[in-house]
């Protein structure tokens, strides 16, 4: 009986932690949206964050998207060749990149690279009491720290997603044309003709929500870090793990919404 009670108490504590965490994320998101239109507008900080998030992420996004497109073409060719349907490889790569892999892989890359950096930076400011110093100087920490990163992610992640889609298609083109012998004209026709605006639109909508997840989770973990350097490390790890889980869950939700509910 005591073990059952201990189990129920532990589950209750976990549930309360979940509610507290979810509430903290929601409050931070609401405060961020509230402070966006409020002056002063820190344009320089926003552009600096855009450079760190977007420009500095281009090399790794390029490599992963290129090899993803190539692997998709190779894997699909293995099956398609059995049915003499190599011409459909281009469509498969284009659909996979624009609908799913482009947005999701880009978001995971940015969450692992940029989200962890944001959490470590903000967490270090938290444990060294720099955030408290901002408040004593009548500077709102959310306006100063969160809003520039939020706006930069909302701008750069969709652009990175479009770039990843393009590079992934190029990777598939390299395999399709130079390895499988598909003609250039046929590959390009089977890439662009089946695509619809909905395919690009759904990927971009996902990327906006992924940007919100990455920024809010990273900043919340950083602003609640405690316990010195060890606490910052724990918060950074938690930020990446939670962001990954929420990105995959959000992707599943929007895929079901766009392709099975809103047909």
Q: What token pair was written down for 23? A: 């509430």
Inside any domain, residue 19: no
Q: Which of 73-77, 111-115, 254-258 has the highest mean pLDDT?
A: 111-115
Residue 131 lies in a domain: yes
Is 38 a member of any domain?
A: no
What pLDDT was estimated at residue 170? 94
Number of C-beta neighbours around residue 3 at 10 A: 7
Task: Please report, rounded to a whole number, the percentage of residues in the chain having pLDDT higher than 70.
Answer: 100
Exposure b/e, 84-118, CB count within 10 A at least 16 = b:
eebbebbbbbbbbbbbebbbbbbbbbbbbbbbbbb
Q: Of 57, 224, 31, whose CA–CA distance to 144 is shortest?
A: 31
Helices and strands (H and E) in the chain: how many: 12, 0
What pLDDT is stored for residue 263 in this prediction? Answer: 66
Number of domains in the chain: 1
Tens-place pLDDT, residues 2-14: 788 888 888 988 9
* Domain assignment of residue 199, yes or no: yes
**What is the reported pLDDT for 40?**
84
Residue 250 domain flag: yes
Question: Helix (H, G, I), strand (E, B), or coil: what is residue 224?
Answer: coil
Is residue 200 within 8 A of residue 100, CB to CB? The reply is no
pTM for the predicted model, two decimal places: 0.94
Mean pLDDT, the chain, as a whole number? 91
Does 31 fall in a domain? no
SS3 254: helix
**Higher model confidence: residue 5 or residue 164?**
164
* Residue 80 belongs to domain spanning: 43-261
Q: Is residue 95 part of a domain?
A: yes
């Amino acid at each position: 009986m005591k073990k059952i009670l201990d189990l129920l108490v532990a589950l209750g504590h976990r549930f309360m932690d979940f509610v507290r965490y979810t509430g903290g994320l929601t409050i931070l998101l609401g405060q961020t949206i509230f402070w966006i239109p409020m002056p002063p507008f820190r344009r320089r900080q926003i552009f600096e964050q855009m450079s760190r998030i977007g420009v500095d992420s281009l090399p790794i996004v390029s490599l992963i998207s290129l090899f993803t497109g190539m692997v998709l073409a190779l894997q699909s060719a293995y099956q398609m060749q059995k049915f003499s349907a190599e011409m459909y490889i281009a469509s498969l790569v284009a659909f996979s990149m624009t609908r799913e892999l482009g947005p999701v892989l880009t978001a995971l890359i940015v969450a692992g690279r940029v989200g962890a950096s944001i959490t470590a930076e903000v967490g270090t400011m938290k444990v060294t009491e720099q955030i408290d110093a901002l408040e004593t100087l009548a500077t709102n920490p959310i306006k100063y720290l969160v809003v520039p990163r939020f706006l930069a992610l909302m701008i750069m992640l969709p652009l990175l997603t479009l770039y990843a889609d393009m590079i992934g298609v190029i990777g598939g083109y390299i395999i399709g044309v130079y390895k499988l012998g598909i003609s250039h004209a046929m590959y390009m026709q089977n890439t662009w003709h089946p695509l619809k605006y909905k395919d690009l639109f759904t990927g971009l909508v996902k990327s906006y929500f992924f940007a919100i997840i990455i920024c809010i989770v990273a900043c919340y973990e950083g602003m609640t870090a405690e316990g010195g350097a060890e606490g910052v490390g724990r918060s950074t790890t938690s930020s990446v793990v939670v962001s990954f889980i929420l990105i995959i869950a959000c992707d599943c939700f929007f895929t079901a919404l766009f392709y099975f509910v809103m047909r």
